[in-house]
Amino acid sequence: MTTLRVAVLGAAGRMGRTVVEAVQDAPGLELVAALDRDDDVAALADTGAQVAVDFTVPSVTEANVTALIRQGIHAVVGTTGWTDEALDRLRTELAAQPQVGVLIAPNFALGAVLAMRFAAMAARWFESAEVVELHHPDKADAPSGTARHTAEAIARARSQAGLGPMPDATTSAADGARGADVDGVRVHAVRLRGLTAHEEILLGNPGEQLTIRHDSFDRVSFMPGVLHAVRAIGDRPGLTVGLDQLLDLG
């Protein structure tokens, strides 16, 4: 079996530490670099890394991935905060390195990926849909990347089905009481000590409610998805958004 040489960026962080352990324990993978703040990503090629996993912070992830692409290193990215404009800039970078693959995924937990897919399937059949995400209080961004992605998928499905705005008679609300508006879908963010990463999608019709809930109790829940992506990304040049694209979900 040939060995795949892997680097981890953000290696001192909560996710980075878990990824380092997972790569060290995974058959066929070799950890060749573990970088954090102040390490030079632009010199990573010297380590022989073929794939790099980025769990850093929204303000640096684009610069990291750009540096990886320019060195011909595939990237598996879990860091949140990607905008459409930033993704377009990556596509331009990738056009100059057509053999390189980049995966950006808001959530690597298989259950979360399925929850997002189920929510998109269900969205057209319900009058109302709202998303509640619940996380540890050390999280920097709100709402979560997963909740944004979920809300965007719900909005797309509603628009394709010709559904209009959801019923909501609110005319007076305290700041933030109705959550953030993501493409017309309300998203609520809870931060609570003891939590890891959780999401509930609430779908309502007259007389019924469907609740889709996913819980990551531990960061090991993200590792099968991360390792699957590390192994698959070399055969998938260009930009891929969402782990579902690598899971053959139909």
Ligand X SMILES: NC(=O)C1=CN([C@@H]2O[C@H](COP(=O)(O)OP(=O)(O)OC[C@H]3O[C@@H](n4cnc5c(N)ncnc54)[C@H](O)[C@@H]3O)[C@@H](O)[C@H]2O)C=CC1
Please say which residue, 50 or 80, places its beta carbon nearer to ligand LZUJQKHR.
80
The position carrying tokens 């890394």 is 49
Q: Is 13 annotated as a binding residue?
A: yes
In whole angstroms, how close is the CB of 217 to ligand X at the nearest point?
13
Select from 29-37, 65-73, 93-101, 168-176 the region that touches ligand X (CB under 6 A). 29-37
Q: Choose the one of ligand X, ligand LZUJQKHR, none that binds residue 82, judging by a C-beta under 5 to 8 angstroms depending on kind.
A: none
Select from 42-50, 65-73, 103-111, 148-156 the region that touches ligand X (CB under 6 A). 103-111
Identity of the residue numbered 249: L
Q: Is 80 in the site for ligand LZUJQKHR (CB under 6 A)?
A: yes
The position carrying tokens 């192994």 is 231
E-strand ranges in 84-207 read: 101-104, 128-135, 180-182, 185-191, 197-205
Q: Choose the one of ligand LZUJQKHR, ligand X, none that binds residue 50, judging by a C-beta under 5 to 8 angstroms depending on kind.
A: none
Would residue 139 show up in a list of annotated catalytic residues for this protein?
yes
Select from 63-71, 143-151, 162-170, 185-193 the region that touches ligand LZUJQKHR (CB under 6 A). 143-151
Catalytically annotated residue among 74, 135, 149, 214: 135
E-strand ranges in the chain read: 4-9, 29-35, 51-54, 74-77, 101-104, 128-135, 180-182, 185-191, 197-205, 208-216, 238-241
Interatomic CA distance for residues 18 and 148, integer angstroms: 24
Please check whether residue 146 is in contact with residue 112, taking contact to mean a CB–CB distance below 8 angstroms: yes
Q: Choose the one of ligand LZUJQKHR, ligand X, none that binds residue 135, judging by a C-beta under 5 to 8 angstroms depending on kind.
A: ligand LZUJQKHR
- The length of the chain in residues reads 250
In whole angstroms, how close is the CB of 30 to ligand X at the nearest point?
20
Would residue 214 show up in a list of annotated catalytic residues for this protein?
no
Interatomic CA distance for residues 228 and 115, integer angstroms: 19
SS3 167: coil
User: What tokens were used for 230?
Assistant: 């590390």
State the catalytic residues.
135, 139
